[in-house]
Structure 1
Amino acid sequence: MPPIYIGLMSGTSLDSVDAVAVEYDGQRAQLLASHSEAFPADLRQRTLALMHPGADEIERLGRLDLALAELFARAANQLIEQQRLDRTSIRAIGSHGQTVRHRPEARFSLQIGDPNLIAERTGLPVVADFRRRDMAAGGQGAPLVPAFHNALFRDDGIDRVIANLGGMANITLLPRDRTRPVSGHDTGPGNVLLDGWIRHHLDLNYDRDGAWAASGSVLPALLEKLLDLPFFSARPPKSTGREQFNFDWLNGCIAAAGAEAESPENIQTTLLELTALTLCREIRAVLGESGEVYLCGGGSHNVCLKARLETLLKPYGLGTTAELGLDPDWVEACAFAWLAARTLQGLGGNIPPVTGAAGERILGAIYQP
C-alpha cells in the first residue's frame, strides 16, 4: 500500500485549516480524506492583527506561533481519528503554516505555526518552512502549487490553465507541448477584498454565490484607480498578499476616485470585477488560440464571479478541478502533502520559471516527532 501524507493549509482568508490525507506512490497523488477545522474567532482576530505592523509584534508572534500550531495539530489529529487512519501508514505531515508577512521584494516570507509542536502533538514527522529555500535561491517563494498542478493536471492534448481563487488569485499554465516550461504567478486579489468588504458592512464571512456583488453596479472611476496599481502591469515572476491588497490601499483608492458616498454593494461589484479582469487578462496573456481553464479554491463557488469569468474567457472552456478528479476545495492542502513527499524523497518542489529561483531546490525542513 502506498504511504499516506497529510497536507495542512491555512490561506489568506483565515476561515479554516484544511487537512487532507493523500496516498502518494511517487507517481500519482490520490485524495483519501479531508477535514476542515474552523478558525476560532479570537485566533482569527489575533492573526489578522499580526498581519499589520504594530506594537509588541515579537511577543504576539511568539504566542501566535504556538496557538496556530495547536490548531494545525488539532486539524491533523481530527482527520486521522475521524477517518480511522493508521498512523503507522502516515509518512509525514506537510504544513504550509500561516503567512503573516510576505515581502518578496525584501527577500523574506514568514509562515508561523510551530512545526515542532505539531510533531509533538501528532507523533508524526512534519515538513514545513517550504518557501524560504526557494527565496534563498533568488525566488519569490510563491506560488509553489504550480509544481503540484503540473504533476496532477497536465495533458498532452491541450493547453491548460489552473486558476486558484483563494484570498489571492494565481494561475498555472500547463502547456501541452512538454518542451515548453510550466509557468505561473499571482494575478492579484482573489477573495480577500470581497470577503473583507462584506464582513465590514454586513458582518458576513463571505458573499455567498456573489449575491451581494450581483446586486450592485461597477464603478468605472474606482475600477480604473484600482487597476492603476503597478503590480498588475509588472511582469512575472510575481507574488503578492495582504501587504498590498488591504483596506488601507482600498480606502485610498475609494477616496482618490471620489467614491466615498457610493453604496457598499457597488464597491463590492467593482471588487469582483477587479478580481475577474485581472485574472482573465493574465490567462489570455499565456493561453494560445485554444485551451482550457479550471478553477480551484473558495472563489470557484462564487456563482457571480464564475459567470463573469465565463464571459471574459470565451471561447476558452471553463470548469473546476473536480472535472479533473480533485475537489477544488482541497487542491492547495493536497499540494503540501505532495510537497512533503518530494522533500522526504530528496526531490525538488519548486519550478524556477514560476518563482524566479536560480534552480530547482528541495524545499522545507523536516521535524521529527
Structure 2
Amino acid sequence: MAASKTRSDVATAIGLMSGTSMDGIDVALISSDGTTIAERGPFLTEPYGPAFRRRLADGLETAKAIERRDERPGALADLEKELTDLHAGAVAAFMREFDLSSEKVDLIGFHGQTVLHRPEKGLTVQIGDGPLLAAETGIPVVYDMRAADMKARGEGAPLAPAYHGALAASVAEPGPVAFVNIGGISNVTLIDKDGTLHAFDTGPGNALIDQWVDVKAGIPFDQGGAIASEGQILRRLVDPYLENRFFQAGSPRSLDRNDFLPPDPASATLEDGARSLARLTAEAILKSVESLRVMPKTWIVCGGGRCNRMIMSDLADLVASQDGTVFAAEDIGLNGDAIEAEAWAFLAIRSQRGLPLSWPTTTGCASPVTGGVLAMPDRR
C-alpha cells in the first residue's frame, strides 16, 4: 500500500486487455503513483460473442499481409472500429457496475487486440482506435504502448513485467519470485532479490489447446482441464514442439499467436491431444526458464491457464524438482484474471509520468524506454 502518498501523487486508471485467447475484454481499476500500488480496485470481464470471435480469428489471417503498422487491409478497418466500440461498451458496463463516473478516472490504458507480432521485422500491430475510445468514454486514453520499445530495438513484449515488479513487493513467499501468465501464449517475469526484472514469452499457453478442442469437438476451450484429465501424454506430440528454434539460444523471446500451430487433427484422440498440449505448456515454461542465471523459488500463475488443473499439476511437479513452489494468483490474495488488465492501467500511469515500460532484460531494448500515445477526449 502507499498510504504515505498524497492524492496528487496517485492516479486512478482503468486497464483494458484483450489477449491472445481472444475470449473477451478484461477491465480493471487501480490507483498508483506509477511505482507502487496504492489500491487494486474492481474487475469485470465482458465476453466476446461467438460471431465476433470468428471475425477476430479471420482478422489474424488478414493481418498476415501487413507490412506497415498503419495498414488495415480487407475488413480490418471495420473490425478495428467494432473492437473499439466493444471496449467503450465494456468501460460503460464497468462504470455502471461499480458506480463510477468519468471524473473519478484519470486514464484508460488501452491494449487493443494484437493481430500480428513479428519482432524479427520490428513489426507489431494492435488494432484499436485510441482517439475514438477517448471520444466515446470521455476519459483520456493511453494506447499503442509497444511501438516505442520496438523503435529502441526491443521486441515490444512482454510489457506486464513493470507491474509484476510492483506486485512482487507484496509477496511474502521466498524469492526470487516469478509471475507466469498463461494466456493464449505464456510468458514469465522473474524478479530477482535485488528487484531486477527478467521477462520473455515461454511458448504455447492455451491457444493450441483451444484450437485443438475446437477442431475436434466444436467447443471453445477445455474447461478446467476436464478433457485433458481423461487423456494420456503422447511424447510424439510434445517433443517436436520443444525442438522448435524458439527454444534455442539467441532466438526471439516474444511470440505471435500463430507461431505454433496445432497438431494434425488425425494425430490423436481429443483427450490425448488435450493432455499432451497441457503438458507441453508446462514443459515449455520450464525449458524457457533454463536460460536464467537463477531459478525462481516462488511461481505465481495468472491468466486462464491457471484454471486448467492438468497444466497446474504438471507445472507444480516440474517446479518441485527445482525446489520451487507453484501458487495460483488467488493463493496469495491476487485476482489471476485481472492482473493483465491491471498491468495496462499501471503502464498508462507510468507512460504519463515518463517512466520506463520496458528494459533490456525484459524486451531486449537498447536502454530503458517509456512509450504510449495519449488521446484526449474533446471535452477535456
Structures share fold, TM-score greater than 0.5: yes
Counterparts of 1:60 and 1:45, CA distance in 2: 13
* Alignment check: 8 A CA contact 1:185 1:236 kept: no
Deviations 1:282-320 (A, max 9, x none): 335437466111101010111111111111111311102
Determine which of 158, 173, 179 is the counterpart of 1:162: 179
Equivalent AA in structure 2 for residue 72 of structure 1: H
Question: Which moves more between the two structures, 285-294 or 224-233?
Answer: 285-294
Structure 2 runs not aligned, ≥5 long = 1-6, 67-71
Determine which of 5, 8, 31 is the counterpart of 1:23: 31
Equivalent AA in structure 1 for residue 305 of structure 2: G
* Alignment check: 8 A CA contact 2:117 2:256 kept: yes
Other-structure match for 2:219: 204
* Alignment check: 8 A CA contact 1:31 1:326 kept: no
Other-structure match for 2:278: 272
1:109 aligns with 2:118: no
Question: Which moves more between the two structures, 227-236 or 273-282?
Answer: 227-236
* Alignment check: 8 A CA contact 2:227 2:270 kept: no
1:67 CA displacement: 0.5
Determine which of 134, 137, 150 is the counterpart of 1:119: 134
1:326 CA displacement: 2.0
Equivalent AA in structure 2 for residue 274 of structure 1: L
**For the structure 1 residues 362 and 216, does the alpha-carbon distance in structure 2 shift closer, same or farther, using more than 3 Å as the test?**
same
1:274 CA displacement: 0.9
**For the structure 1 residues 281 and 126, does the alpha-carbon distance in structure 2 shift closer, same or farther, using more than 3 Å as the test?**
same
**For the structure 1 residues 344 and 289, does the alpha-carbon distance in structure 2 shift closer, same or farther, using more than 3 Å as the test?**
closer
Other-structure match for 1:12: 20
Deviations 1:218-256 (A, max 9, x none): 112222222221112244661002231234xx33xx7xx
Question: Which moves more between the two structures, 328-337 or 279-288?
Answer: 279-288
- Tell me the number of residue pairs that the alignment of Structure 1 and Structure 2 aligns: 358
Counterparts of 1:223 and 1:140, CA distance in 2: 27
Q: TM-score, normalised by structure 1?
A: 0.91
1:132 CA displacement: 0.7
* Alignment check: 8 A CA contact 2:177 2:296 kept: no
Aligned 1:27-66 pairs, distance under 5 A: 27-53=36-62, 58-66=73-81
Counterparts of 2:374 and 2:97, CA distance in 1: 26
Question: Which moves more between the two structures, 315-324 or 273-282?
Answer: 315-324
Q: TM-score, normalised by structure 2?
A: 0.89
Structure 1 segments (4+ residues) deviating >6 Å: 54-57
**For the structure 1 residues 142 and 261, does the alpha-carbon distance in structure 2 shift closer, same or farther, using more than 3 Å as the test?**
closer
1:44 CA displacement: 1.2
Counterparts of 1:341 and 1:290, CA distance in 2: 28
Aligned 1:252-291 pairs, distance under 5 A: 260-286=266-292, 288=294, 291=297
Counterparts of 1:295 and 1:196, CA distance in 2: 22
Deviations 1:173-219 (A, max 9, x none): 111134xx310100101100011111222222211121111111111
State percent identity of aligned pairs.
Answer: 34
1:49 CA displacement: 0.7
Counterparts of 2:343 and 2:267, CA distance in 1: 43
**For the structure 1 residues 271 and 17, does the alpha-carbon distance in structure 2 shift closer, same or farther, using more than 3 Å as the test?**
same
Question: Which moves more between the two structures, 35-44 or 107-116?
Answer: 35-44
Other-structure match for 1:177: 194
> Secondary structure of 1:51's partner?
helix
Determine which of 288, 292, 298 is the counterpart of 1:292: 298
**For the structure 1 residues 290 and 221, does the alpha-carbon distance in structure 2 shift closer, same or farther, using more than 3 Å as the test?**
closer
Determine which of 303, 309, 318 is the counterpart of 1:312: 318
Other-structure match for 2:361: 353
**For the structure 1 residues 114 and 316, does the alpha-carbon distance in structure 2 shift closer, same or farther, using more than 3 Å as the test?**
same
Structure 1 runs not aligned, ≥5 long = 255-259
Counterparts of 2:295 and 2:137, CA distance in 1: 49
Other-structure match for 2:4: none
Counterparts of 2:149 and 2:290, CA distance in 1: 28
> Secondary structure of 1:240's partner?
coil
Deviations 1:160-184 (A, max 9, x none): 1111111100111111134xx3101
C-alpha root-mean-square deviation of aligned residues, in Å? 2.0
Counterparts of 1:261 and 1:176, CA distance in 2: 45
Other-structure match for 1:257: none
Counterparts of 2:356 and 2:252, CA distance in 1: 18
**For the structure 1 residues 55 and 87, does the alpha-carbon distance in structure 2 shift closer, same or farther, using more than 3 Å as the test?**
closer
1:268 CA displacement: 1.5
1:366 aligns with 2:374: yes
1:99 CA displacement: 0.2
Deviations 1:302-342 (A, max 9, x none): 11111111111113111022344321110000000000001
Determine which of 85, 96, 100 is the counterpart of 1:85: 100
**For the structure 1 residues 227 and 161, does the alpha-carbon distance in structure 2 shift closer, same or farther, using more than 3 Å as the test?**
same
Aligned 1:302-341 pairs, distance under 5 A: 302-314=308-320, 315-341=323-349
Aligned 1:143-154 pairs, distance under 5 A: 143-154=158-169
**For the structure 1 residues 236 and 90, does the alpha-carbon distance in structure 2 shift closer, same or farther, using more than 3 Å as the test?**
farther
**For the structure 1 residues 90 and 64, does the alpha-carbon distance in structure 2 shift closer, same or farther, using more than 3 Å as the test?**
same
